[in-house]
Chain A
């Protein structure tokens, strides 16, 4: 006996139509697959094995009761371009898959207390100030890392081995737990802004998406990453693309967002702002910007797996307990940071650094 919902989950996760999947199995038709997914037909063992092999899980995965659909938790999607329904469904199913395993692993360890609460009546700037404080950062320094800080504050951050151009991240409140899912492929600066944007949704917006929600989440993200009171004094006396690229490496945000910030703090006028945007376009920076911002990964999923299965962790055991293939387990683990991939420690003051002995001349 398998759950048809499980089969639908894996099919949607791989962005396959019923006809696509049925076409890959000898003797399976789309109508029969439809009946299996609706629990109106019982597939034989051989068919279940074939479907499991095709979708990257073990056959026992289909016999497990499905976890609740994330769709029911009103996830907030911020897409840069139009998001197709199949792409959105795949993202939700990936998050559901990884979240389910995350929950299973979390049951073996003590929970991190949640230090963030909704700020429904607050302005974006007020909520950003609150978030900085709760995440343990000062009001006016660059955030050295964001995702690890969110995890320390009790936010579930899931790395999905799935990439689409239109979407970097989405979020949901799930049984009182804030969840942020991160897709693969975004450069470091864009990812930080997207994660900050999702945090804005979690803190500022209840389940329904309002028309103004996207703009408020953008304002929250800009204020969290580059508070106006702090970024103003940090602007170079002469605002050039070169100087903003340097600033980007310190604050971890794009040059484009820094131009917008420079305009907002009055460091440049509208004419200069337009000129800088044009220079960016002429140099091809709209596609790829210079300035190094490391790509952050969430850590907790892998850490929980290490606690449960030892250092490494033991992928065979993780895959067996999850009902996944080993390649699927490896793909999910790869989206979560090893200890060596953790972000770098915050840059301290000159009198608060590890002393390296200068070389003797």
Chain B
């Protein structure tokens, strides 16, 4: 099995960092707008707010070809354990940690068998040789917190002490800036230096 490092994972995910951030913020905005429209208090049902945000974020990611559904016979269902993004040999589950969780507790525990298999890096059919990663997100009063946390789990079950990570690190919006070299050879015929040079 391939084992991707933190640095390499960031490089592989670089093209989709901006769409992921944009989709999550869009989801938060849509959820907030719905709560205002219907007179809901977020604190009354915090999970509804998050589910609503996740649903809208999915729509945005799907429009970019980034989010996938789970096949269930004739139906195509939204993944219940977070958003699922597959890109460049990485399968990334985008999860929301429990409210108030910090440090390693930011990585949600795999409560279901399918999620535990994912945490143990078991591949799905057709995705052999890929890496499974977890990306967690939080918000502060409806504003997406930057950075997100990217982690490569290698084990875990419903007990916190069982959680095993290969590595974890930040995934920040600012990491999108590493661009391909510009047309550096394209230079003007004349380049004017400082006024002093021209005077000389």
A256: Cβ under 8 A from any B Cβ: no
Contact A353 B8 (CB under 8 A): yes
A350: Cβ under 8 A from any B Cβ: yes
Q: Which residues of B contact A288 (CB under 8 A)?
A: 65
Contact A109 B189, CB 8 Å, known A148-B180, A246-B86, A292-B66: yes
B62: Cβ under 8 A from any A Cβ: yes
Contact B65 A237 (CB under 8 A): no
Contact of A292 among B11, B19, B129, B180 (CB under 8 A): B19
Q: Which residues of A contact B183 (CB under 8 A)?
A: 112, 148, 151-152, 299-300, 303
Contact A249 B88, CB 8 Å, known A304-B186, A343-B180: yes
Contact of A108 among B64, B76, B124, B189 (CB under 8 A): B189
> In the complex, what residue of chain B is closest to A112 when comparing beta carbons?
B185
B52: Cβ under 8 A from any A Cβ: no
Contact A347 B180, CB 8 Å, known A236-B127, A237-B128, A238-B128: no
Q: Which residues of A contact B66 (CB under 8 A)?
A: 290, 292
B99: Cβ under 8 A from any A Cβ: no
Residues 258-289 of A at the B interface (beta carbon under 8 Å): 283, 288-289
Contact A307 B180 (CB under 8 A): no
B178: Cβ under 8 A from any A Cβ: yes
Contact of A242 among B86, B178, B179 (CB under 8 A): B86
Interface of A is mostly: loop
Cα of A145 to Cα of B185 in the assembled complex, Å: 18
Q: Which residues of B contact A187 (CB under 8 A)?
A: 65
Contact A291 B187 (CB under 8 A): no
Chain B 108-120 against A: per-residue CB contact (8 Å), 1 yes, 0 no?
0000000000000
Contact A283 B76 (CB under 8 A): yes
Q: Which residues of A contact B149 (CB under 8 A)?
A: 359
Residues 142-171 of A at the B interface (beta carbon under 8 Å): 144-145, 148, 151-152
A243: Cβ under 8 A from any B Cβ: yes
> In the complex, what residue of chain B is closest to A290 when comparing beta carbons?
B65
Cα of A244 to Cα of B127 in the assembled complex, Å: 9
B146 vs chain A, min Cβ distance (A)? 14
Range class of the B interface residue count? 35 or more
Cα of A121 to Cα of B87 in the assembled complex, Å: 39
Range class of the A interface residue count? 35 or more
Contact A355 B7, CB 8 Å, known A250-B88, A288-B65, A300-B183: yes
Cα of A237 to Cα of B124 in the assembled complex, Å: 12
Q: Which residues of A contact B62 (CB under 8 A)?
A: 290
A28: Cβ under 8 A from any B Cβ: no
B5: Cβ under 8 A from any A Cβ: yes
Chain B contacts to A: CB under 8 angstroms: 4-8, 10-12, 14-16, 19, 62, 64-68, 76, 86-89, 91, 103-104, 124-130, 149, 167-170, 175, 177-183, 185-189
Known: A303-B186, A353-B7, A361-B168. 4 other contacts (CB 8 A): A148-B180, A236-B128, A245-B68, A246-B127
